[in-house]
Copies of this chain bind each other. A is one copy, B any other.
Amino acid sequence: MNTFDLALQQLKEKGYKKTKQRERIIEIFASHDQYVPAKKILQDMQEEFPSVSFDTIYRNLYLLSRENMLEATELEGEKHFRLSCGTGHHHHHFICTDCGKTKLIEFCPMESMEEDLKGYEVENHKFEIYGKCPQCG
């Protein structure tokens, strides 16, 4: 089963309605193996739904993020999203500053941080590497 059908199935299982707009949003993500800004999703959506509202875009982006179907990160002051990759295991990304495509980084630096953070309660962390991928470099 491909990522598109998988995502739709997950939505159904969680009791969300299937709408044309929602389908299209997921479709757009499935065809971009990269982080894309909300703005880009809006533009792509407008081709099929000329009167789609900001609200629909953002509401769905956050819904999909909450349900772990999207990963989010802030790049240059704009929120960017991509379909969650893989099996839900923890990972990080190299992000190409040209094309936005990503490379999975399995290594997590938190594994070696316990002793340095005695007394600190860790809630979250971010490890991202930015640069040019082989195609853009």
- Interface residues in chain A, defined as those with a beta carbon under 8 Å from any beta carbon in chain B: 74, 77, 79, 94, 97, 103, 105-107, 109-110, 112-113, 116-117, 119-134, 137
A127: which B residues are within 8 A, CB to CB?
A: 109, 125-127
Contact B126 A131 (CB under 8 A): no
Contact B105 A120 (CB under 8 A): no
Chain B residue nearest in CB terms to A128: B126
Total copies of this chain within the assembly: 2
Chain B residue nearest in CB terms to A94: B120
Contact B109 A134 (CB under 8 A): no
A130: which B residues are within 8 A, CB to CB?
A: 122-126
Q: A77-B74, A97-B123 are in contact. Are A129 and B105 (CB under 8 A)?
A: no
- A-B pairs with beta carbons under 8 Å apart, 16 shown: A77-B77, A94-B120, A106-B116, A107-B112, A109-B127, A119-B137, A120-B131, A120-B132, A121-B131, A121-B132, A122-B131, A123-B132, A125-B128, A125-B129, A126-B127, A127-B127
